[in-house]
Structure 1
Amino acid sequence: MSAFFVSVVVLPTRAGALGCGPVLANKLVEVSYVYDGDTVKIAQRQKVRLAGINTPELDSTNPVISEVAAQATVFTRHWIDQNAPVYLQVAQDAKDNYGRTLGYLVSGNGEDLGEALIKKGLAYAVTVAPNDEKQQCYARAETLARKARVGVWSSKSVVSRALNINSAGFQLITGKITRVFHFKTADAVVIDDSIVLMIKPKPSMPLRIGRSLEVRGWVNKKPFRYDDFTALYVLHLNNIANIKVL
């Protein structure tokens, strides 16, 4: 893969032909390095993190997760080699907390790398506002992967994991609502008295005690305390697309 970056070509997206998201501006790029399934490097040491998805971590202690992570990395390398040069569509919120560019990689015929990873079960769909450009497209792709039980969805321990959090980072969690605290701008929904979902803005869907949820996002080891209640973990959510009422 070449190490230079071409920034002078800006084309309208062709991804609409595949139904994956709205029309976005495309910038022609060449990828110089693939870190893992969802992070690559383009010119001038610029890192690009794919928006709207999360691939498993290569260093996971779960053998299923680590194997899928390796497969996702190989898939991304192969996809880029087969489709180079590719186009970068920069997301609405263009940078993450690590200074990486957030966006989507698409081929010349409009195929979206994130969608392709999700369909293979090599990535989870996850929405972080305001970058919801492809949320519906990615959700449809994940539904297909779950039905086919491929990739991460091939293992029940990954599909429906017990709420026994041993590490921070991205998690797919199922559990029952045991408490709800209402604040002025956010709701704190407690799952199994173990983890707090801090949802801002306040959710429009009814999240009542006793309901079972599937939730995805990045868990922080940050104790939550309110009155006489304490939980050791917090998961911040700003989009209800990451919550499924079971």
Structure 2
Amino acid sequence: MSEQIKKALHWSAFFIACLILLPFALHAESDSKNCPDLPVYRQGQIKQVYDGDTVELSDGTKVRLLGINTPEMNYRRGHPEPLAKAARRRLKELAPPGTTVSLQIDRQQHDRYGRLLAHLQLANGTNPALTLLEEGLATILIIPPNAAAAVCFTAAERQARISSTGIWGHPRYQPKTAASLTGTNRTGYHIVRGKVTRVTSSKRFYYLELNNHLTARISKRDWGEYFVDPFSPHWPGATQPQQLLNQQVLLRGWLQPHRQDSSKPLQVRLYHPAGLEWQP
């Protein structure tokens, strides 16, 4: 075969590969610019950035970014959590004071503190919350009914976790076993690994008990709306909580003592399968 034919075949293969991969690249870019795909509620101008997930607009509106949680600055309660300053600094770089942003809202507009719950969309169409997830400066926080970003945010966070980027390389964010939750490690935000050893229910809730040390509480309404259907490769869907009995799971959330009896297992409220991974 002549050298010219070899070169021609080489470049033909290159261009064919480009044509095949181009739609996927465009799709990925489109996803990153439409995550989530929600209509614009209104626009506003950034006045200040409080922390990695809260900003104030020039008209005084306080906005809590939907779908993520960043390490706390703890302005009133001591030292910032690991990488809290980095998360705030990065959001300030992405949306500095004076930046005009589009606000996208999901199904619930305000939280119990009166803050507007919204996604920010920059002029280039990107969502700064997604960037924080990709760079390991935030964790996903999906609280129904605001779940439009659950799929794309979960995928972004997973890549950061796999590569131990940002907070995922810090000891605080490594999964703990349920049995290790003792002393000062008992409360606060944790990622916990354990075996579901008991499943019970009440009129409004299902309860998953992990190794007799932690009880996860899920409302029956949330279960029926979000947990039944497949959500990701790590949540194939479960019609009944009993399917999790004797299964290994990984969950995340804010751990609290039992309200009536501190000697009972810790409790955590789960709202969405983004906070519960099934590891069969």
Q: TM-score normalised by the shorter chain: which range applies?
A: 0.7 to 0.9
Query: Aligned partners of 1:111 and 1:103: how far apart in 2?
Result: 14
Letter of the aligned partner of 1:159 in structure 2? Q
Letter of the aligned partner of 2:128 in structure 1? L
Matches within 5 A, 1:1-246: 18-59=33-74, 66-81=81-96, 84-163=99-178, 164=181, 166=184, 168-201=187-220, 202=223, 203-204=227-228, 205=238, 206=241, 207-223=243-259, 231-246=264-279
Query: Aligned partners of 2:277 and 2:139: how far apart in 1?
Result: 14
Q: Cα offset for 1:157?
A: 4.7
Letter of the aligned partner of 1:215 in structure 2? L
Q: Is residue 218–residue 235 contact of structure 1 (8 Å, CA) maintained in 2?
A: yes
Moved more, 99-108 or 205-214: 205-214
Query: Aligned partners of 1:218 and 1:94: how far apart in 2?
Result: 23
Q: What TM-score, normalized to structure 2?
A: 0.72
Q: Percent identity?
A: 26
Query: Aligned partners of 1:30 and 1:83: how far apart in 2?
Result: 6
Aligned length: 228
Tell me the SS of whatever aligns to 1:92. coil
Q: Is residue 222–residue 233 contact of structure 1 (8 Å, CA) maintained in 2?
A: yes
Tell me the SS of whatever aligns to 1:30. strand
Q: Cα offset for 1:154?
A: 1.2
Q: What TM-score, normalized to structure 1?
A: 0.81
Q: For each residue in 1:44-93, what CA deviation from the matched residue of structure 2 results, as whole angstroms up to 9, or x when unmatched?
A: 432111111111123499x9x82311110100111112992111112311
Aligned Cα root-mean-square deviation (Å) = 2.9
Q: Cα offset for 1:118?
A: 0.2
Query: Aligned partners of 1:168 and 1:35: how far apart in 2?
Result: 24
Where does structure 2 lack aligned partners over 5 or more consecutive residues?
1-29, 229-237
Where does structure 1 lack aligned partners over 5 or more consecutive residues?
1-14
Query: Aligned partners of 1:138 and 1:31: how far apart in 2?
Result: 23
Relative to total residues, which structure has the larger helix share, 1 or 2? Answer: 2
Name the structure 2 match of 1:6. none
Relative to total residues, which structure has the larger strand share, 1 or 2? Answer: 1
Query: Aligned partners of 1:42 and 1:27: how far apart in 2?
Result: 12
Q: Is residue 196–residue 231 contact of structure 1 (8 Å, CA) maintained in 2?
A: no
Letter of the aligned partner of 1:131 in structure 2? N
Query: Aligned partners of 1:33 and 1:99: how far apart in 2?
Result: 17
Q: Is residue 197–residue 211 contact of structure 2 (8 Å, CA) maintained in 1?
A: yes
Query: Aligned partners of 2:192 and 2:147: how far apart in 1?
Result: 21
Structure 1 pair 160–83 and aligned structure 2 pair: CA distance change class (3 A):
farther
